[in-house]
Copies of this chain bind each other. A is one copy, B any other.
């Protein structure tokens, strides 16, 4: 059987050990009528899973008791609405740094909810290959918060911990595509959220990390119960029926990350994987990795031959050789190799070997 690798930007590759554990779960419960997707979210079995998952995430990210951790549904897109509904309660104005598609989507959602939105800076005219800087004269006091996207899944630029915008106001981060991939100080943020389907687990669960004292300040009115963080916090992520399978799998993934050595070890591996690929691309005269060096993503490596039609042909050829989902997002084209935590180094080596072969035949 051909060895295959999956470079999907998400939902994407998961640890093989986790897939095996899921298989065993269904194998064991083929006739019991009590598999993980058949048990009540109020069962002790599931309540233990939720508590374990929260504790493991706290351990991995060093999340203090000053923050609540909740598991929700609806992906990052629902967070684009919950954040304004719960936190844009004073100025009704939110500041954004436009670093790509998902920053723009968050702006749009906040606007549709009736808030004023200010895009402080955008690198759209540079195809988001550089990070937008926080203006020197930024006055945080007139906004409810500043929203950033730490890793731009489509465009490949990242606010790493060492190049985060320095604001004296509240800071909200969408970490959907690089949570647990590199270290961040949670205490630098007032809220963090991440869709599950990259480094955390399958699609269908979203993590939100909320500074309790900030939430306590809010006067949230005219908002439905499901859109209020406080309800989910009060009920330990079981305000209504939780997405049981997604949280079960998330818990297995967190276990795996801990067993592998935690975020420190993930970061070491992700640096090694991405550096090896960028090094190959940078020395190549055939491919270009256009994102500025200091902002390069560890998880979504964007590159191109400069000819989008040629890129498509090569991506198709890659598929035939067992290297799946290398096409860039439909909005930008080119290539995107997603190197999430579960992506083994062997995938990077196989990708480089393939790219070299194509380059030599060109």
Residues of A whose CB lies within 8 Å of any CB of B are 4-6, 8-14, 16, 19-20, 22-23, 26-27, 29-35, 37-43, 73-78, 80-81, 84-85, 108-109, 112-114, 195, 197, 201-205, 222-227, 239-246, 249, 324-325, 330, 347
Contacts and interface: CB of A to CB of B under 8 A. Distances in A.
B75 A225 contact: no
Contacts of A31: 16
A323 to B, nearest CB: 11
A48 to B, nearest CB: 16
Given A224-B81, A227-B81, A241 B41 contact: no
| Copies, count | 2
A266 B74 CA distance: 31
B4 A197 contact: no
Contacts of A4: 32-34
Contacts of A197: 241, 244
Nearest to A26: B23
A38 B19 CA distance: 10
Contact of A11 (B16, B241, B249): B241
Contacts of A245: 202-204, 245-246
A233 B310 CA distance: 34
A13 B33 contact: yes
